[in-house]
Structure 1
Amino acid sequence: MTTRVPRTALIILAIVVVLGGAILFAVYRLLQQAEPYVRGENCQITTPDGTIELDIEQSQVAAVIAAVAARRKLPERALEIAYITAIQESKLSNIPYGDRDSVGIFQQRPSQGWGTVKQLMDPVYSTRKFFAALEKVEGYLDLPLHDAAQEVQRSADGGAYADHRATAIILAGAFSGRVASAVYCWYPPPAKPVKADPGEARGELTRALGAAARKDSWLVATWYVTHAQKYGLRQIRYDGVSWTAENGHDGWQADKSGKSGPMAVS
């Protein structure tokens, strides 16, 4: 004997299925829209030596240090020394306080002749001062990283710099541009639209890197990615790949535009 399902029940079942599908789709769309906010903002740095994450401010500081090193034509080892120092002293943050009158990313002291507080709170200036002092250390490239850092800083505990050697090596390989597409950042969209200002970004880069800022390189591309949020940049294309702010967490992807040529920042 075959039991017939009432037509009304079939209609109700169909409505339930349709509504259920609509609800699932709506939930899916909400999760998609919420994803950038859930992920927050950060940068990932990956080289053959390992992977680490920094917040965006730390990544900007790391990019500035690399740019100043490139301007002075310093080798990657000098960059590693700067990184272990900045990590130990400030965690790569531009802080306006510290032990006694120390300030900035290298915790330099105005009373010891490093410069004024305003000057030392400028990462470009403070990095230049650090490298100028480092270059005066005889044979610094042959010293263990922490010993070279201590020769500049004269810290109460110079051995602490050694704890950051592995991180510094990853950072130096990435931010120097030696390792391609090693750095990417992500962050939620701004509450209000921000007009992209590649010109202002380029000017700030030039202040750190000098005339070399006009040259295409992974150092330059990395600097733009770490400063994209600050200057409202939406896309950086270089070397056949691109990074977009909208999909920042996906990192560098094959450039679908098919365009080749110099770096494009917008």
Structure 2
Amino acid sequence: MRLRFSRGVITIAIIVVVLAVGVSVGLYQILKRTPLAAPPEASCSVTTPEGARTLLPEQAQIAATIAAVAARRKLPERAVVIAYATAMQESKIQNLDFGDRDSVGVFQQRESQGWGSKKQLMDPVYATNKFFAALVKVKNYRKIPLAEAAQAVQRSAGGYAYAPHETEAKILAAAFTGRVPKSVHCWYPPARTPAPQPRAEEARKQLARAMGSTTITTRKRGWLVAAWSVAHAEKYALSKVGYNGATWVNDLEAEGWQSGSAGARKVELA
């Protein structure tokens, strides 16, 4: 038996189909024009028994450099804590090319006060060496209050401002000096194809510039080198850093360091 539909029913059916097609096309165009969610920005995290902090890659790189320079000069962790607190107050641990009057760099040192040329002061290795050279001349800098030690070096208008950064500075120092293993973790968005080749040799040369000898003589020193390498992973296109049975990989889903086969005599980069 043949079913017969009235002209009105057929008209309604056609309208429904047209509307459905129109809605589908409209949704497709909207979705097509809507950008995909932006990937997370590169970042670093520091986790120690004293607490946890999140850093920008630049901040992590500078923090790692300060620790490396301190190791070269055979300075105690207290010196690193003072340097970090000073850098937090002066520049938020960033290599600024501006500041009050002619102040520039991580520690906002001034050319007019004899710290060096602007080009030199914009080099974190040079600036850190100048800071430590002044700090070790401060009598009892290891024992006096942090703000006093920092102010003796900086001679700023508000020397009291360094003290509030001491707790955070201790967290960073525990991690970047290598005293607390596996405490530095970074991630950066993978590059588009073709991916850049790791520049491990260049990374080692730059570390040697800050640290002098990069020979691993103690596990603490090894973890300092490992932390420096992770902090600079994006800069040198590193996707893996291994040391002392643990491996960092550039994986957003990875929670900290993973078990690996790396030995205790060498930090492996890839």
> For the superposition of Structure 1 and Structure 2, which TM-score range results when normalised by the shorter chain?
0.7 to 0.9
Determine the structure 2 residue equivalent to 1:225: 230
Structure 2 CA distance for aligned equivalents of residues 135 and 248 of structure 1 = 43
- Choose which of 239, 247, 257 in structure 1 pairs with 2:244: 239
Q: Separation in 2 of the partners of 1:222 and 1:235? A: 12
Amino acid at match of 2:209: R
The amino acid that maps onto 1:195 is: Q
Partner amino acid for 1:197?
Answer: R
Mapped partners of 1:85, 1:156: distance in 2: 13
**Correspondence 1:63-102 to 2 at 5 A:** 63-102=64-103
Structure 2 runs not aligned, ≥5 long: 1-35
Q: Give the corresponding residue for 2:15.
A: none
- Does residue 264 (structure 1) correspond to residue 268 (structure 2)? The answer is yes
Report deviation, 1:83.
0.4
Q: Deviations over 1:169-206 (max 9, x none)?
A: 00110000000001010111123511111000000000
Matched-pair contact (CA < 8 Å) for 2:120–2:127: yes
The alignment partner of 2:190 has SS state of: coil
Residue 245 of structure 1: how far off its partner (Å)? 1.5
Contact 1:236 1:242 in 2 (8 A): yes
Please state how far the C-alpha of 1:239 moved relative to its aligned partner. Answer: 1.1
1:199 to 192, 198, 201: 201
The Cα shift of 1:88 comes to 0.2
Letter in 1 for 2:43: N
Q: Deviations over 1:62-105 (max 9, x none)?
A: 00000000000000001000000000000000010000000000
Once the two structures are superposed, the pairs formed by residues 151-162 of structure 1 within 5 Å of their partners are: 151-162=152-163
The one-letter code sitting in structure 2 at the alignment partner of 1:205 is L
Distance 1:251 1:54 in 2: 15
Which residue of the partner structure matches residue 182 of structure 1? 183
1:2-61, Cα deviation, whole Å (9 max, x unpaired) = xxxxxxxxxxxxxxxxxxxxxxxxxxxxxxxx89x5332111101110001001000000
User: 1: distance between equivalents of 2:237 and 2:71?
Assistant: 25
Q: Classify 1:232/1:209 alpha carbon distance in 2 versus 1 (closer, same or farther; 3 Å).
A: same
Tell me if the contact between 1:186 and 1:248 (Cα under 8 Å) persists in the aligned partners: no
Matches within 5 A, 1:26-37: none
> What CA RMSD, in Å, does the superposition of the two structures yield over aligned residues?
1.5
TM-score (ref. length: structure 2):
0.82
Q: Which residue of 1 aligns with 2:24?
A: none
Amino acid at match of 2:249: T
Alignment partners' CA distance in 2, 1:177 and 1:120: 26
CA contact (8 A) 2:72 2:210 kept: yes
* CA offsets 1:184-238 (integer angstroms, 9 cap, x no match): 1011112351111100000000000001x12261000000000010001111111
Q: 1:151 to 1:260 in 2, by over 3 A?
A: closer
SS, match of residue 60 in structure 2? helix
CA deviation after TM superposition for structure 1 residue 111, in Å:
0.5
Aligned counterpart for 2:212 among listed residues 210, 213, 217: 210
- 3-state SS of paired residue (2:191): coil
Conserved 8 A contact 1:195-1:232 = yes
- Number of aligned residues: 229
* Unaligned segments of structure 1, at least 5 residues: 1-33
SS of equivalent residue, structure 1 residue 38: coil
Structure 2 Cα separation of the partners of residues 259 and 99 of structure 1 = 46
Q: TM-score, normalised by structure 1?
A: 0.83
Aligned partners of 2:158, 2:79: CA distance in 1, in Å?
20
Considering only CA atoms, is the larger Rg found in Structure 1 or Structure 2?
2
Q: Given the superposition, is the C-alpha separation of residues 46 and 138 from structure 1 closer, same or farther in structure 2, using an over 3 Å criterion? A: same
CA distance in structure 2 between the partners assigned to 1:69 and 1:259 by the alignment: 26
Q: For the Cα contact (< 8 Å) 1:46–1:174, is it kept in 2?
A: yes
